[in-house]
C-alpha cells in the first residue's frame, strides 16, 4: 500500500489541484474537510499533516511520498543530515524565501537570532563564524521579537517588501523555497512507485536545474551582517507578554474584567506591540507556547499563557525559575491520553494489549506537548516508547502513526468525530499568569505587584471556573 502525506494550510489548494490533474483528486481534501485521512484510488491512503511534520514522517518511513515546502526539508537536513528523505521534484507552487532580517542596525555583543527554523539558524550562525550567538527557536510570531528580544530573525516571506511590511529590514535571502514532492529512500528502493510518480509529475514543468542537493536551492550565507554593537540600555518598563491564537479571546476577557485597556488587542484584532493604559508597562503579543522560555530567560516579567505550556516547560526544565502567580480560571480544557481501535479502557490495559501483539515494539506517543508526552510515558511505565513531536492536525496520528496521542480536549466533539477513545484525562489546564521567581527590583517592583493584583482581579472565581 502506498502512503502519501499531504499538507494542510497554504499549500492545500495547489496540492489538491495537482492531485486533480493526476486523476487522483480527493474532493474532501480540496474542500478543506476536517477529515485527516483519505483513501486513494489505487488502494493507497493519503493523510493530512502540518507542513513541518511531513519531512519527519517521510524520513521515518511512515509515508512513502509527501508534499511540503523545501524549507522544512532543509530544517530536517540541518538537524539530521543522514535522514532518508529524497527530494524528487520542485512542484512549481508555494514559492517563498527564508530571510535574515533585523529591526535596527544595532545588536548585542552576543547576537540573538530567533526563528521557527532553529536548525537552519544554527547552521547560518556557524557558517558565518559568529564569535558569540544565541539561537531562540520559537513556534511562531518570530517577526515580533526584534529589536527588544532578538537582534536578527530568520523568517519566511515572499519577497523583501513582505519582510519590510513586518517592520523589519531585510539583510540576506538565505534560501529560496517552494513546494516539493519528496520520497522515502527505502520506499523508493523497495516499492514500485513509478505509476503514482508518473501521474503526479505528468503536468509538472521541470524548473531550470539549479546547483545544490538534488537540484534544489542551497543555503546562502552572508559573509557578515551589517550590524554594529548596541549601547546597553537599562530597562525602564515592565514587560508583559499576551497570547495570540485560541487563547487570545480569554486573555481579552481577563483584561476587560481587570479594567485594563490594551489598544490593538481584542477578539477581532491583533497588533504585535499594542498600547496598554497602565503606566510603566510595555506589551508584546507572542505565541503562548513560547512564553515560559521567554520568561525564564528574563525577556518578560509577566505573561499570560496556558498552564499546559507551563507544565510542558517545567517537566523539561525542573529547575526553571518560571512559576505561576495567578490562575485565571479561563480557557479551560483537559490533557488526555487518546487512542483508537483499542479494546482496553485504561492506559495499563492498552499497554498490555500492545505488548501482547508486539512484545519488543516501541509504543509511539505523539503530541504537540513533547515534554509532557515523555513525562506521561515515564509516569505510566510504558517501557519501550518513543515520543513523536508534532505541530498539529493531530487526531489522524492514531492508530497508524502512533499508539497514543496526548492532546488537549474541551467538549470531546473532535474525539468523537474521529472515532477516538479517551483512556485517561490527566491534567486540567486553564490560562494563568506566569513570572520569573527573580522579581523586578527598584521602582519596577511596585509596577509588577500592582499589575499582578489587577490581573488577579480579572480571574474567574473558583466556582465560576468549575462551571458551577
Low pLDDT (below 70) residues in the chain: 206-214, 232-233, 461-468
* pLDDT number for residue 233: 67
Q: DSSP string of 363-377?
A: EEEEES-HHHHHHHH
Q: Closest by alpha carbon to 59, among 50, 72, 47?
A: 72
Using CB atoms within 10 Å of the CB of residue 411, give its burial: 0 to 12 exposed, 13 to 18 middle, 19+ buried.
Answer: exposed
Q: Which residues pair with 152 in a beta bridge?
A: 113
Report the pLDDT value the prediction gives residue 297, as an integer from 0 to 100.
94
Report the candidate in 173, 192, 182 with the shortest Cα–Cα distance to residue 215. 182
How high does pLDDT run on average in the chain?
A: 92
- Long-range contacts from 381-388, C-beta under 8 angstroms, 24+ separation: 381/351, 382/351, 383/351, 383/355, 384/360, 386/362, 388/56, 388/364
Are 218 and 212 spatial neighbours (Cβ–Cβ below 8 Å)?
yes
Instruction: List, in order of start, the domains of the chain with CATH numbers.
Output: 3-93+178-202 (3.40.190.10), 96-176+221-229 (3.40.190.10), 238-331+432-465 (3.40.190.10), 333-429 (3.40.190.10)
Q: Can you give the pLDDT at residue 268? A: 76
What pTM was computed for the model?
Answer: 0.91
Following DSSP, what letter does each residue of 427-446 receive, concatenated? EEE-EEEEEESS---THHHH
Residue in 101, 121, 96, 74 with CA at minimum distance from that of residue 176: 96
Q: Looking at residue 211, what is its pLDDT?
A: 53
Q: Given this model, what pLDDT does residue 468 score?
A: 38
What does the alpha-carbon distance between residue 72 and residue 74 come to, in Å, rounded to a whole number? 5
Per-residue pLDDT at 412 = 73
Tell me the C-alpha distance between 70 and 93, whole Å.
Answer: 11
Q: How far is CA 405 from the centre of its chain?
A: 16
Q: What is the pLDDT of residue 210?
A: 55
For residue 259, the SS3 value is coil
Query: What is the DSSP annotation of 125-139?
Result: HHHTT-SSEEEEE-S
Q: Kindly compute the dihedral angle of the four CA atoms of residues 392, 397, 398, 399, in this order, to the nearest 10 degrees.
A: 180
Contact 329, 459 (CB under 8 A): yes
Amino acid at each position: 500500500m502506498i502512503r502519501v502525506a499531504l499538507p494542510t494550510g497554504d499549500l492545500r489548494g495547489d496540492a489538491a489541484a495537482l492531485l486533480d490533474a493526476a486523476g487522483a483528486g480527493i474532493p474532501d481534501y480540496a474542500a478543506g474537510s476536517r477529515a485527516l485521512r483519505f483513501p486513494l484510488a489505487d488502494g493507497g491512503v493519503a493523510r493530512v499533516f502540518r507542513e513541518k511534520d511531513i519531512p519527519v514522517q517521510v524520513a521515518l518511513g511512515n509515508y512513502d511520498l509527501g508534499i511540503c515546502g523545501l524549507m522544512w526539508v532543509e530544517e530536517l537536513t540541518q538537524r539530521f543530515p543522514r535522514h532518508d528523505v529524497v527530494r524528487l521534484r520542485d512542484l512549481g507552487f508555494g514559492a517563498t524565501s527564508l530571510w535574515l532580517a533585523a529591526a535596527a542596525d544595532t545588536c548585542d555583543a552576543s547576537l540573538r537570532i530567533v526563528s521557527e527554523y532553529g536548525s537552519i539558524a544554527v547552521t547560518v550562525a556557524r557558517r558565518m563564524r559568529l564569535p558569540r550567538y544565541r539561537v531562540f527557536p520559537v513556534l511562531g510570531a518570530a517577526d515580533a521579537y526584534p529589536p527588544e528580544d532578538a537582534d536578527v530573525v530568520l523568517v519566511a516571506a515572499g519577497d523583501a517588501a513582505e519582510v519590510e511590511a513586518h517592520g523589519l529590514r531585510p539583510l540576506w535571502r538565505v534560501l529560496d523555497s517552494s513546494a516539493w514532492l519528496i520520497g522515502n529512500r527505502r520506499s523508493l528502493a523497495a516499492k514500485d512507485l513509478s505509476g503514482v510518480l508518473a501521474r503526479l509529475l505528468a503536468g509538472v514543468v521541470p524548473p531550470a536545474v539549479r546547483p545544490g542537493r538534488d537540484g534544489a536551492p542551497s543555503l546562502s550565507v552572508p559573509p557578515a551582517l551589517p550590524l554594529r554593537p548596541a549601547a546597553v540600555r537599562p530597562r525602564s518598563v515592565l514587560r508583559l507578554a499576551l497570547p495570540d491564537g485560541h487563547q487570545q479571546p480569554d486573555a481579552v476577557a481577563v483584561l476587560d474584567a481587570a479594567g485594563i485597556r490594551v489598544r490593538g488587542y481584542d477578539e477581532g484584532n491583533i497588533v504585535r506591540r499594542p498600547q496598554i493604559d497602565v503606566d510603566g508597562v510595555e506589551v508584546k503579543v507572542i505565541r503562548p507556547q513560547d512564553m515560559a522560555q521567554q520568561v525564564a530567560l528574563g525577556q518578560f516579567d509577566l505573561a499570560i499563557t496556558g498552564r499546559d505550556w507551563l507544565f510542558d516547560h517545567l517537566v523539561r526544565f525542573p529547575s526553571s525559575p518560571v512559576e505561576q502567580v495567578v490562575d485565571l480560571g479561563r480557557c479551560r480544557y483537559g490533557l488526555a491520553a487518546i487512542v483508537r481501535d483499542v479494546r482496553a479502557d485504561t492506559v495499563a490495559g492498552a499497554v498490555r494489549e500492545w505488548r501482547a501483539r508486539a512484545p519488543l515494539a516501541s509504543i509511539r506517543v505523539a503530541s504537540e506537548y513533547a515534554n509532557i508526552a515523555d513525562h506521561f510515558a515515564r509516569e505510566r511505565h510504558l517501557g519501550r516508547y518513543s515520543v513523536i513531536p508534532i505541530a498539529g492536525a493531530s487526531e489522524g496520528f492514531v492508530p497508524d502513526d502512533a499508539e497514543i496521542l496526548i492532546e488537549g480536549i474541551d467538549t470531546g466533539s473532535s474525539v468523537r468525530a474521529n472515532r477516538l477513545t479517551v483512556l485517561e484525562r490527566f491534567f486540567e489546564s486553564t490560562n494563568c499568569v506566569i513570572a520569573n521567581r527573580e522579581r523586578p527590583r527598584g521602582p519596577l517592583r511596585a509596577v509588577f505587584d500592582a499589575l499582578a493584583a489587577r490581573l488577579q482581579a480579572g480571574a474567574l472565581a473558583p466556582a465560576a471556573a468549575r462551571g458551577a
